[in-house]
Amino acid sequence: MDSLIFDESFVKSKLFECNSPSRISLKDKFFTSSAVLFSIIPYEDQPYKLILIHRSNRGTRHKGEMSFPGGKFEENEDISLKDTALRETEEEIGVSRENIKIIGCLNDFPTMTKYIITPFVAIIDKNQKLTKQESEVQRIIKIPINFFTSKTHFREQAVDVNGNKFPVFYFNYLDTENKKTYTVWGATAYMIVTFLETLYGFTPSELGLKRFKLEKIKDLKEYIKYRDKITKQF
């Protein structure tokens, strides 16, 4: 792949405006509305990086996972899903909304754990101090985009879910600072792959399987039982 130096005009041209009628926007009473900040750190002389967090072991559905800053829409705190993404980012990595530049959105997509995620793509300055939320975040990790564009780092599985093949993408990233390996998988990995496909036409998957659409997910039984079965194979 050619240069991965961040070009804001190019990236914006490939994304949806967040209120565009062309963007897939989903809403369903059986799903929890949520938002994440697909956070980009640009550099002048090297590939840009993505900011991900290693979540704490609190909670039930997404504990210990790698994700973008974000969370569920809170009616008493958020006017919009954009507010959700900005509020959660400030809480989880300590960056105020005044220091975040949103440049577009990806399509909404439903998860097997009954969330609908709205991804807001944003720029955060390389000199911005990042401070983790001690109760929710174990570690903040900056991963170069060219890690994700290397097919040698990409893995995929076809998981049987009620007789249907469901794709699970994952990347194992070695943090050179603490020598630990972090697995980026599930919705977060799929979001990154979708971003790469949208911007660069780069498709690492060879199985060609598509994630289930909203209506199909609604018909499934509880998905969480498949989680341990999947992660044991990473």
pLDDT value at residue 111: 92
pLDDT value at residue 62: 57
Regions of the chain short of the pLDDT cut 70 = 1-2, 59-63, 221-234
- E-strand ranges in the chain read 32-41, 49-55, 66-67, 70-72, 101-105, 109-110, 115-123, 137-144, 154-161, 164-175, 180-185
Nearest to 211 by CA among 165, 179, 175: 165
Structure tokens at 102: 């949103």
Nearest to 51 by CA among 16, 99, 113, 110: 99
pLDDT value at residue 60: 46
96 within a domain of the structure (yes/no): yes
115 within a domain of the structure (yes/no): yes
35 within a domain of the structure (yes/no): yes
1 within a domain of the structure (yes/no): no
Residue-wise pLDDT for 130-139, tens only, equals: 999 999 999 9
Nearest to 96 by CA among 128, 74, 141: 128
Nearest to 107 by CA among 208, 18, 10, 202: 18
**Which CATH number goes with the domain that contains 97?**
3.90.79.10
Expressed as residue numbers, the domain containing 115 is 8-231
3-state helix, strand, coil in the chain (%, to 5): 25, 30, 45
71 within a domain of the structure (yes/no): yes
49 within a domain of the structure (yes/no): yes
Number of structural domains (the chain) is 1
Contact criterion met (CB below 8 Å) for 49 and 39: no
pLDDT value at residue 228: 58
pLDDT value at residue 231: 61
74 within a domain of the structure (yes/no): yes
225 within a domain of the structure (yes/no): yes
